[in-house]
Amino acid sequence: MDDVATPAPAAAPRAGTAPAGAPSPLMQAAQGALNIFIDLGPVAAFMIAFNVARDGANPDQAIFTATGVFMVATVLALAFAFLVQKRLALMPLVSSGFVLVFGALTLSLNDALFIKVQPTIMNTLYAGIILGSLAVGRNVWKVLFGAAFKLPDRVWRILAVRWACFFIFLAVLNEVIWRAPPDAFWLVWWGLDAQTFWANFKFWGVMPLTLAFMVANVPITLKNLGKTDDGAATPAAAAGQAGFEKGPGSPA
């Protein structure tokens, strides 16, 4: 519910490849789409509120108006998610907490610095948690998404490292964008100041990058869905594919 869409299952498993008790493929796809919609909503509200306020009577207050709208939209998105899914996933809950805490600091101290550094701190924390869990022999990425997928541990490690690197990339990118000098080539090209570019980049830049990164992880997920670390299909996956012609494929 912030600058990075909550990672959704990269693809719905084929029949028989999901662990016992896992949601159906259709339900997984619907939940993934809902998660993306819930993430996009508050960020879109922030961008629209900023642009409307910037063109209004008091443009200097645009960032604070947008922050207030962002906080309200985040709470509404959480409530909607709970009503539809009857639960709150951990990552959207944590992201929302960051938005509310840093948004409150922004408004109470009248300092836009807090809302600007919030994505940097949040994404750095995500990367640190993922890499830290791997360092102690755990994989928090598998803990978070293992109920939706049956994948070999080595693939879970690959996905965890990829997402950690992506979160670090987003943290660095956020700092580069909001701290950009007036003569930065992208500001000159678009004819915008750094704050305006940053407020719009949260939606038009970060969201497409995140969705593209999610899509880029689909192949490794599909290749290894339902497999064990030795490359063999699990009994559930084999049973689910019985009677169907097996297509070519190789481990990632």
Per-residue pLDDT of the chain (252 residues; tens, 9 = 90+): 666 656 654 444 443 344 444 555 555 555 666 667 777 899 999 999 999 999 988 899 999 999 999 999 999 999 988 888 788 878 888 999 999 999 999 999 999 999 999 999 999 999 999 999 999 999 999 998 887 778 999 999 999 999 999 999 999 999 999 999 999 999 999 999 999 999 999 999 999 999 999 999 999 988 988 887 765 555 554 444 444 344 444 434
162 lies in a domain?
Answer: yes
Q: How many other C-beta atoms can be found within 10 angstroms of the C-beta atom of residue 210?
A: 19
Residue 246 identity (one-letter amino acid): K
Burial of 92 (0-12, 13-18, 19+ CB in 10 A): buried
DSSP state letter for 59? G
Residues present in the chain in total: 252
Burial of 85 (0-12, 13-18, 19+ CB in 10 A): middle
Distance CA 57, CA 63 (A): 14
134 lies in a domain?
Answer: yes
What DSSP assignment string belongs to 77-111? HHHHHHHHHSS--HHHHHHHHHHHHHHHHHHHHT-
Q: How many structural domains does the chain have?
A: 1
176 lies in a domain?
Answer: yes
Distance CA 123, CA 165 (A): 10
Shortest CA distance to 179 belongs to which of 193, 168, 190? 193
pLDDT of residue 203: 95
12 lies in a domain?
Answer: no
User: For residue 57, what are the domain limits?
Assistant: 25-240
207 lies in a domain?
Answer: yes
What DSSP assignment string belongs to 204-228? IIIHHHHHHHHHHTHHHHHHHTTB-
**Which residues lie across from 227 on neighbouring strands?**
233
Distance CA 232, CA 15 (A): 17
Phi, psi (rounded to 5 degrees) for 21: 85, -5
128 lies in a domain?
Answer: yes
Distance CA 174, CA 206 (A): 9
Q: CA 218, 120, 93, 51: dihedral to nearest 10 degrees?
A: -90
87 lies in a domain?
Answer: yes
246 lies in a domain?
Answer: no
Q: CA 132, 28, 213, 189: dihedral to nearest 10 degrees?
A: -120
pLDDT of residue 248: 42
